Amino acid sequence: MGSAILFNPTGVVHARIMDIFRGSLPGRDVKCIFNPRLPWFSEINKHAKKGDLYFINDRLPKGALDGVDAVVLFSAQPRIPHLDIVTEAMNRSIPVIAIEEVLQMALEQGFVNEYVLPVDHLFAGSDYERSKFIDAGVSPDAVETTGCVFRFKERRAALDMRQKDQARMKLGIADGRRIALLSLAYLTPRGETLEIRRKLLECVAGG
């Protein structure tokens, strides 16, 4: 067995998360594998570090899992890069972990489009999400409620208060006024609906 954990960031946000996460596992080699075919690859690649890997024409490069004892996915969609990495990990008996990055089940009425490949562990954002994944056929032994597994306290604490004040002035937000930022999905009958958005706003308004 090796001592490395291989992450597969598929979005710019994932790459930024890795900047924070890399130093949180002392004694472990944390590395990433990126896909140059993604439209936003140039932005993702700004976060690459020495030792990181790249898919070659959507395929896993030879030896990519050498010395790796765990694989972490932010998306487990049935696409060639994900299929390649999951298949190779299964052949090598390397555990695969998928992290739910949003409350998908709540926001999209139980419609699963990100986490359908077989993984050893699926980290869900809430008990509700876990129950819905189980209803959709995921083994109860494989899915675990973790909430958001990444913490950003250090990044928030380091933010200069002057930057906050400048942002408030630029946006015309009065001092002391509470702000809620909603990260919304797309409007579809099977996905996020106007009713769901109204409920989100009601939750925010109620504190």
Contact predicate 85/73, CB 8 Å: yes
* Rounded (5°) CA angle 92-95-99: 140
Ranges of H-type helices in the chain = 12-21, 41-44, 80-91, 104-107, 127-135, 153-157, 161-171, 194-205
Residue 151 banded pLDDT, cuts 50, 70, 90: low
Query: What's the full length of the chain, in residues?
Result: 207
User: CA-based Rg of the chain, rounded to a whole angstrom?
Assistant: 19
Indicate if the alpha-carbon torsion angle 37, 43, 44, 49 is positive or negative: positive
pLDDT above 70 covers what percent of the chain? 82
Tens digits of residue pLDDT in 109-119: 666 667 778 89
